Chains A and B, each alone.
Chain A
Amino acid sequence: MNPAELHLLFWTFLKVGLFSFGGGYPVLPLIATEVVQRHHWLTAPRFANLLAIAQLVPGPVLVNTASLVGYQVGGFSGALVGALGVVLPTFIIMFVITYYYQLLYRHPLFRRLIRGFYPTLVALLAGAAVFFAQSSPLSWKVVVIAGLTCGALATRRLNPFWILIGAAVLGVLL
């Protein structure tokens, strides 16, 4: 891959990292907008597949997604550039926050800021769910597997990793 595209990949994930409030799934609409709609690096189903891997592998979904998209776009150097891009702004911001943590932690305005973000984060999470629902045709098979997964998670007794493995097995069997 040429340096110009690697450069673009870095800036794209730098932007994603800067606005990655909510950590994992609430950031998904932003990544999809940039990676699928704007730069056409991946198709929506392909991107959804990468997210499934990002969820299965241990580690933060956000960084896993960045390295997987980077890998698809530009091989190993793409993966490093994607991961570095998404981590760099969050590192700097968290570093500053940690430096001033005693001042910030109890400050009512900071608490109000975190609280005020919450409704938007839930809306972004809903946007992520809509993206996934649209990424493949909504057959009865998809509805059954999604319903079973949701129900299994609601019991809170099973490890999400094994629930997703179960969903993969059902995907082959049904």
Chain B
Amino acid sequence: MISLTYHEVVERRGWLDEETFLAGTTLAQGAPGANATNTAVFVGYRLAGLWGAVVALTACLLPPLVMVLGLGLVVLKTSRLPVVERIFEGLRAGILGLLAYLLLSWLRPLLRDLKGVALFGLMLFALLVLKWHPILAIACGGLLGFLSGAGRGEGNEPG
């Protein structure tokens, strides 16, 4: 997704130079929200101000919204069929595999930082055993990470 955006915005249209785009994607990853929509807001604002940001975000969201609603309607009507339930059984298992893969690749840069591993373990314990609300974990974990300087090895954030 980011590489496609890079190709369109930097290489093909020449709207932004490479360094500005890189700054935008870094900030988009750090801010709350999806990378794609955050990057759209950044690019849109740099090009045409407030309305540029609004237009870029809307254009980025409209196609998926239409597709999601179309698919949602079909699934809602057919979800009682046994074959559809089997399809979803496979898909849920597939997403579980996807999450396992993501988790392994996110853990790798973390392992280079002992404080980061400790904070990861602490937050996992808080979420799964103490059943903390995720917002509490985000607030406490973010603050602890900021204060302790925990994190990960250098390099781009995966995913």
Contact = CB atoms under 8 A, between A and B. Distances in A.
A124 B137 contact: yes
Contact of A120 (B67, B96, B109, B137): B137
A160 B50 CA distance: 34
Contacts of B37: 60, 63, 87, 90-91, 94
Most buried by B among A68, A94, A119: A119
A56 B91 CA distance: 9
Contacts of A153: 97-98, 101
A121 B119 CA distance: 10
Contacts of A124: 123, 127, 134, 137-138
Nearest to A163: B94
Q: Is the interface of B mostly helix, strand, loop or mixed?
A: helix
A54 B148 CA distance: 36
B124 A123 contact: yes
A132 B96 contact: yes
A26 to B, nearest CB: 9
A112 B31 contact: no
B150 A116 contact: yes
Contacts of A3: none
B33 A83 contact: no
Contact of B64 (A64, A119, A150, A174): A64
Contacts of A76: 69
Interface size class of A (residues with CB under 8 A): 35 or more
B46 A171 contact: no
Interface in B28-80: 28-38, 41-42, 45-46, 50, 53, 57, 60-61, 63-65, 67-69, 71-72, 75-76, 79
B138 A23 contact: no
A49 B38 contact: no
A2 B141 CA distance: 37
A11 B23 CA distance: 31
Given A122-B103, A124-B138, A90 B32 contact: yes
21 contacts: A23-B29, A49-B88, A57-B67, A59-B65, A63-B37, A79-B72, A86-B33, A90-B33, A94-B38, A115-B150, A116-B143, A119-B110, A120-B119, A120-B138, A122-B110, A126-B103, A129-B103, A141-B89, A146-B97, A164-B98, A168-B90
Interface of A: 15, 17-21, 23-25, 29-30, 33, 45, 48-49, 51-64, 67-68, 71-72, 76, 79, 83, 86-87, 89-91, 93-95, 97-99, 101-102, 104-105, 110, 112-130, 132-133, 135-136, 141-151, 153-154, 160, 163-164, 166-172, 174
Given A98-B24, A122-B107, A149-B101, 20 more contacts: A19-B135, A20-B33, A23-B38, A52-B91, A53-B68, A59-B65, A72-B76, A83-B65, A90-B31, A90-B32, A121-B106, A122-B103, A129-B99, A135-B92, A145-B97, A150-B97, A166-B94, A167-B91, A171-B91, A172-B87
